[in-house]
Chain A
């Protein structure tokens, strides 16, 4: 699979709704005005930003939950053990 294909597949897994909308807006013949297209693109960017922020925040939640478990077990919170 090409790099573009891999990226497309990863994006559709991470943000399926947004990816579909972007795909539709890029491929569908549009009678919308430039302003409408711009507004839609801006909305899509904001939605993507929110998706990215959510995914980034998951890193913190993973660390928090992991630490709650190791705290309960009375162990060191560093998974690498270094």
Chain B
């Protein structure tokens, strides 16, 4: 690329797309902006429902910017490479459904907190102002994971609840004998700014365990989870080293979280999954000291600067709203294999059910239900995996069956319970919980049948393997009473609709299902097939039964 005398970039024909008239117009406007106030700098933005375009004259092209709607920060990002001085930023996918109506759109340089460009933008003909909120009106931002998350600092009542609960949780953990301290974004905000970070969505705690063996660390984390549950907390496990204490509001919607990360020393390193593995002196972390944070006393590391430099790098004092972790492969592999990762798909389903007001029948479920009613023993016990809003579980229970629905969306469990379903929170990604459930239903004097309507194709292969172990265990119950396992799956991939972040777009071919069942001594028989309408278009599905193919011990005798 060459630079013209006027400073604009010149691209050889065919190297990059030609600059549009819009871009040229944008750059000229930025130059006029600079000339108007007799400065060397100017910036102009344009936006539509597809992208934001920013032209900067004399400003840092590598800046981190924060985009605000009507003065409320929505999205922070680093500027992409400009083409002829115009930075083109496609809107993040999760934000697009909210791009309606009009707003005053401003772009702020995160380093200086100064507004560099602003414009009145109209996304469509809707008369309202553009709002980025959830179904309950809670303010959302594009968070560091690239998805929409609640922003605590936009709601003072919520912020105060989070602060008070964080202090109480710290006290409770200390009473239980744990070395707890504020960490991550909570620690960074306190040390750098003296307050919570703008756009923070939770608070973060670390608990330093005395163990260094991964199995011992996980077992101690299990114990802490039990103790917190016994104390009345709602605890969601993200990994063997990461718990999320979740606070709910009426109706089962999530009010906010507090993360608890396990920390431990191993060799020369201090480890705090999922990211940190660096030599931090023990004396920089323990014993903890009491500090004032947002008007309450909380425990903190005695030398927090050492932890912050190890986690965020030497530039941790410079605000970077677009910061994201770049965890070295060796560290990531170590932590993922030692501690697992159990949250796959849960954010999607929690978000999905937060917009569902009452138990719902999706297309295909009635056809599944007709088959399930015929194939599941009348009057028996049924375990409904991934019960969702409980519509199928409620119908099966209405026939006179004893039904237990399980789901890993807290909101789904609340919906199912509101429909009269006996429902429990259970994450199928957690093999330990699946194993415990298998033991539990095998201990029942009567056998349990299994129902899994449009669930198996939304799970990873590893999770399905655990579920198949559960199904085999249920089918092998020693009682002579009848039992069965009925499932429905979407079988065909729609490449245009597929998204890793949306498990409902996943698929499971019948051949793959059969191959995966075989090592478990199970086989699949198609009972019916069809096409159903989904948010991802028309999808082919099958309903079938899973049966034992290898003899049980009882049969061998």
A72 to B435, CA, bound (A): 11
- 9 new A-B contacts at CB < 8 Å, known A57-B340, A63-B218, A77-B222: A57-B338, A59-B213, A59-B338, A60-B215, A65-B435, A72-B439, A78-B219, A78-B220, A79-B216
A56 to B222, CA, bound (A): 18
A82 to B216, CA, bound (A): 11
**Which one of A61, A62, A67 lies within 8 Å of B222 (CB-CB)?**
A67
Interface residue ranges of B474-507 to A (CB < 8 Å)? none
Q: B337–A79 contact, CB under 8 A?
A: no
Number of chain A interface residues as a range: 20 to 34
Asked if B380 lies at the interface with its beta carbon under 8 angstroms from chain A, I say no
Give the interface of A toward B (CB within 8 A): 49, 52-54, 56-57, 59-68, 71-72, 76-80, 82
Q: A62–B333 contact, CB under 8 A?
A: no
- Whole-angstrom distance between the Cβ of B116 and the nearest chain A Cβ: 45
Q: Which 4 A-B pairs have the closest CB atoms?
A: A56-B337, A63-B218, A59-B214, A64-B432
A62 to B216, CA, bound (A): 10
Asked if B331 lies at the interface with its beta carbon under 8 angstroms from chain A, I say no
Instruction: Name B's interface SS.
Output: helix
Asked if B533 lies at the interface with its beta carbon under 8 angstroms from chain A, I say no
**Which one of A52, A54, A63, A71 lies within 8 Å of B215 (CB-CB)?**
A63
Question: Which residue of chain B has the shortest Cβ distance to A80 in the bound complex?
Answer: B216
Q: A77–B219 contact, CB under 8 A?
A: yes
**Which one of A49, A53, A77 lies within 8 Å of B223 (CB-CB)?**
A77
Would you give 5 A-B contacts (Cβ < 8 Å), ordered by A?
A: A49-B333, A60-B214, A60-B240, A63-B218, A67-B222
Give the interface of B toward A (CB within 8 A): 210, 213-216, 218-220, 222-223, 226, 240, 333-334, 337-340, 431-432, 435-436, 439
Q: A68–B439 contact, CB under 8 A?
A: yes
Instruction: Name A's interface SS.
Output: helix
CB neighbours (8 Å) of B333 from chain A are 49, 52-53, 56
A66 to B340, CA, bound (A): 16
A49 to B334, CA, bound (A): 10
> Do A53 and B337 contact each other (CB < 8 Å), given the known contacts A63-B222, A64-B435?
yes
Question: Which residue of chain A has the shortest Cβ distance to B430 in the bound complex?
Answer: A64
- Whole-angstrom distance between the Cβ of B542 and the nearest chain A Cβ: 31
Q: B226–A63 contact, CB under 8 A?
A: no
- Whole-angstrom distance between the Cβ of A76 and the nearest chain B Cβ: 6
CB neighbours (8 Å) of A76 from chain B are 223, 226
- Whole-angstrom distance between the Cβ of B179 and the nearest chain A Cβ: 13
> Do A60 and B226 contact each other (CB < 8 Å), given the known contacts A65-B435, A78-B219?
no
- Whole-angstrom distance between the Cβ of B226 and the nearest chain A Cβ: 7
> Do A63 and B219 contact each other (CB < 8 Å), given the known contacts A56-B214, A68-B436?
yes
CB neighbours (8 Å) of A63 from chain B are 214-215, 218-219, 222, 240, 432
CB neighbours (8 Å) of B222 from chain A are 63, 67, 77
Question: Which residue of chain A has the shortest Cβ distance to B431 in the bound complex?
Answer: A64
A22 to B216, CA, bound (A): 33
Output the residue of A53, A71, A80 with the most chain B CB within 10 A.
A71
**Which one of A59, A67, A78, A79 lies within 8 Å of B432 (CB-CB)?**
A67
- Whole-angstrom distance between the Cβ of B321 and the nearest chain A Cβ: 34
Q: B340–A60 contact, CB under 8 A?
A: yes
- Whole-angstrom distance between the Cβ of B269 and the nearest chain A Cβ: 16
Q: A71–B436 contact, CB under 8 A?
A: yes
A82 to B220, CA, bound (A): 10
A56 to B340, CA, bound (A): 10
CB neighbours (8 Å) of A72 from chain B are 436, 439
A46 to B334, CA, bound (A): 15
CB neighbours (8 Å) of A54 from chain B are 337
- Whole-angstrom distance between the Cβ of A75 and the nearest chain B Cβ: 10
